[in-house]
Structure 1
């Protein structure tokens, strides 16, 4: 099938590769413009662009698809189908109407739960037991189209958003190719809007740990924000990143260091229960387990994180 692919981050790469491997004619790839990244703000191409160029596929990076010239360019490509995977832009009605087979989206959640920009991370943050991928027919709304196929999986007890992200990216690619094969036989299922919730974009304000929450809630936040933007707190006047922690027994003032042992690490009280900090990093320092951290930094029991 002649397909235009629209996607930007790592999550979309396996889906593009799957279309190529399945023998579809990917006539063009649309992706977000290159953006500065890192401390040195080096202009960097999106991962999808890198794969497309390596495969000799034409790449388009418009700032908007609302422009009539961009829409005319897309029509000249004459796609039978448009596939969208984490593109990062809503498609206007004029674009949705171009391909005769419609537009299919691969979304990283079990719709209608977690519509929006960061569904995988929010599933972990919220403590969901399962996550998944849904293919759907695209409409003008935000992830509101009729559902086609679903893949569901349990979220591991210690799984981070990054780990789940990788698993669902691979599952989404397989689900996409299966959806295209079965496109003429699938009965689309409308979403129940009353069951929907919104997965907003992540930001560094969300990353600041509120130690008055339960140990489980904070653990889910830490895993959901790994690898980005990473949970944050203050320790003895310095910002500290929290990459992983384990709920354990303990009681004290929220944020209070209950145990500080160079052999077993830091244990911090939460609003309910406590957390052993496993993998931490002073901002600007090296990432390490908290026991190793204590061998180079003195932290007295009774110290309160977040102050």
Structure 2
């Protein structure tokens, strides 16, 4: 198949690499380069770096609606356009170009978790399983007819970061299966049921502040779901403290949520709205991530200390 690939972040790279192995990738479309840091050093999207490594032409329109860009896609006339986390909504004119359609690789079991943050919200909401869906793209946000699905179980300590890495590999394999079915005319279209859909918005830094009035289970899921970004945090004696790993433990005392109720050699235990959260790995502002055991070797935390104040 002659393929145009559209994607931007690291999540899209394994799918591009698989496509290069199995099909003819005519061009890669990705977001414009960005300037990062104080030195304003130009940073390439991961997908661009992969394409350049393989000598594939790269297109970086500021807007996918640019007429000149769409004209170029029409001249290329690919059999299929594959889209993985590209970052822009495609106009209908692009959707109509390829014979086999525009195929999207999405990081959830649609119609659940449509939107920009499907991987993170699966962890935040305590899902036991999630997966990848390939689908035909249409004008709506992740509303197109589904083709294939691959399911994966979440580990007890699954973070958004570990799940991201598993799903990006799973998605690459599933996309190749889907393209084979399209070529063989065996792909089956399944409509999504809108009433079963949920929305997974993009995360924000503000979401990271921990509300200890929630249950310990909810907070523990929050810690994993916001790892690696934007990370869950609170304050310890006026300093911002990120929490990278924690466990739920039983607690039936009456201390107000956020209060340190126990300090062991390895954990700081904090009362929550229900039960308590045992902190295992933390990071104070300006410091490195460290196990609580290492932190307590050089710092003292008293029971009765209230976090978040």
* Pair in the same fold by TM > 0.5: yes
Question: What's the CA shift for 1:177?
Answer: 0.1
Partner of 2:155: 156
The CA deviation string for residues 248-291 of structure 1, in whole angstroms up to 9 with x for no partner, is 12243111111223x22211111111111111101221100112
Number of the residue aligned with 1:186: 187
Shift of 1:36: 3.1
Number of residue-to-residue matches in the alignment: 305
Aligned CA RMSD, in angstroms, stands at 1.2
Other-structure match for 2:49: 50
Which residue pairs with 1:208 in the alignment? 209
Do residues 254 (structure 1) and 253 (structure 2) align? no
Q: 1:39 to 1:114 in 2, by over 3 A?
A: farther
Q: CA offset at residue 70 of structure 1?
A: 1.3
* 2:85 equivalent in structure 1: 86
Partners of 1:92 and 1:11 in 2: CA distance: 23
TM-superposition CA deviations, 1:106-149 (whole Å, max 9, x none): 00000000000010000000111111000000001100000000
Deviations 1:18-49 (A, max 9, x none): 11111x11011011111234565532111111
Query: 2:282 maps to what in 1?
Result: 280
- CA shift, 1:92, in A, is 0.5
Q: CA deviation at 1:76?
A: 1.7
Structure 1 contact 36–43 (Cα < 8 Å) conserved: yes
* CA deviation after TM superposition for structure 1 residue 300, in Å: 1.2
Determine helix, strand or coil for the equivalent of 1:148: strand
Q: What secondary structure does 2:97 align onto?
A: coil
Gaps of 5+ in 2: none
Counterpart selection for 2:267 from 247, 265, 268: 265
Residue 237 (structure 2) aligns with: 236
Q: Confirm or deny that 1:35 pairs with 2:61.
A: no
SS of residue matched to 1:182: helix
Any conservation in 1 of the 2:32–2:61 contact (CA below 8 Å)?
A: yes
Residue 69 of structure 2: aligned partner: 70
Alignment match, 2:291? 289
The runs of 4+ residues in structure 1 deviating greater than 2 Å are 36-43
Alpha-carbon distance in structure 2 between the residues aligned to 1:255 and 1:226: 21
Scaled by the length of structure 1, the TM-score of the pair is 0.97
Q: Is the 8 A contact 2:147 2:190 kept in 1?
A: yes
Aligned to 2:20: 20
2:308 counterpart residue number: 306
- Report the Cα distance in structure 2 between the residues aligned to 1:93 and 1:295, rounded to whole angstroms: 60
In structure 1, runs of 5+ residues without a counterpart are none
